[in-house]
Amino acid sequence: MSTPKPFTLRIPDAEIADLRERLARTRFPDEPPLAPWSTGTSVAYLKSLTDYWQNDFDWRAWETKLNSFPQFTLPVRGIEVHFIHAPSKKPGAMPLLLSHGWPGSVFEFHKLIPLLTEHFTVVAPSLPGYTLSFTPGQQRFGLVEIAEVFAELMTTLGYGRFGAQGGDWGSFITSVLGHRFAARTSGIHLNMLPLRRDLKMPPNPNPNPEERRYLDQLDNFVKEETGYQWMQGTRPQTLAFGLTDSPAGLAAWIVEKFRAWTDNNGSPEDAVTRDEMLANISLYWFTGAIGSSFWPYYARMHSPWPVPEGEIVEAPMGYAEFPRENLTPPRSLAEQSFGDIRRWTRMTKGGHFAALEQPQALAEDVIAFFGALE
């Protein structure tokens, strides 16, 4: 059995200089004669962001922040998986697996992990194909395969039984763990519900008001917010050329999601700091992993649903609903996919990037959910 190898991130000075030179040569498009952000990332905002990225952003400070966590790599199924392994201050603490999503990274958890290690030993991997779990040419994994990789990682670390938490793709991965590895997962906690986005749902012809609200929400999401999914899910390689070559293009593609998916008043920085966004974007840039990070979208569109139709997730489940999450399905629909819902919390503030936006509230809900299972 392989032994985890300690990891420290150190980006060469030459790569940082190259990034700044590329940013200085950015050629910006014009702004359409419509309200800024209405057709995508605001030109004025991106000019300000890239100027800050080029001249003021301190990558080394964020590199040091990441390196303050114990990090390791481990070969699993032919790739090197990067992960944070932060021991708990509590003897005999439950191991808790944290799974991020797209366009996130383990930087999402920089405020959450210290709150959780009071109660859990935290394992936070970089998803295969994402940032520090990426090497050019490596095998690609869909969501089910990523869940299997993470289960094997936990086995290698000596954790026969563990809790799991996730949002975005992490909620899908966590749900697959709760389905395929129910005997090993003491419970799963989600801050996004990975339900089928089928406009025919719910199957009954007379949805109740809460279900009707969700169907209207879903209709708008499918119409206005899924363009990136179709591009990443059907022609990911074409998109990868532009975003791998242009840091401004990469920033525009990602920061638009921080604005659209967070609980803000018009600027993404109302919810997530400029430095936090740029630390995440920089990690994608320096690792060259944006193209490979699209693979779960391609696999999702060309594979069966991660939890087979007619089957349900049996592991105990807790859910934290943040009000500005992209979709907030009612419990009646969640009960069709999750057979043992133990906790359902409606938060008062926050959106899709809950670990960055509302780490204290998320941590408290995770602690309460797993505490009730002990």
Q: Per-residue pLDDT tens for 93-104?
A: 999 999 999 999
Q: How far is CA 366 from CA 9, 48, 49, 58, 373, in A?
A: 29, 36, 33, 32, 11
Where do the DSSP E strands lie in the chain?
5-6, 71-76, 79-86, 94-99, 120-125, 162-166, 185-190, 317-321, 341-346
**pLDDT at residue 203, as a whole number:** 59
164-177: average pLDDT? 98
**pLDDT at residue 89, as a whole number:** 85
Q: Is the pLDDT of residue 199 over 80?
A: no
* pLDDT tens figures, 98-122: 999 999 999 999 999 999 999 999 9
29-42: average pLDDT? 94
**pLDDT at residue 201, as a whole number:** 55
Q: Hey, how many other C-beta atoms are within 10 angstroms of the C-beta on 225? A: 14
d(CA 361, CA 366): 9
Return the active site residues.
Answer: 168, 297, 352
**pLDDT at residue 25, as a whole number:** 98
Query: What's the mean pLDDT when you consider all of the chain?
Result: 96
146-152: average pLDDT? 98
* pLDDT tens figures, 268-323: 999 999 999 999 999 999 999 999 999 999 999 999 999 998 999 999 999 999 99
Q: Is the pLDDT of residue 88 over 80?
A: yes
Which domains, from first to last, does the chain contain?
5-373 (3.40.50.1820)
Band the pLDDT of 208: cuts 50, 70, 90: confident
End-to-end CA separation in angstroms for the chain = 30
**pLDDT at residue 97, as a whole number:** 98
Tell me the two tokens of residue 223.
């119409």
Q: Is the pLDDT of residue 200 over 70?
A: no
* pLDDT tens figures, 246-275: 999 999 999 999 999 999 999 999 999 999
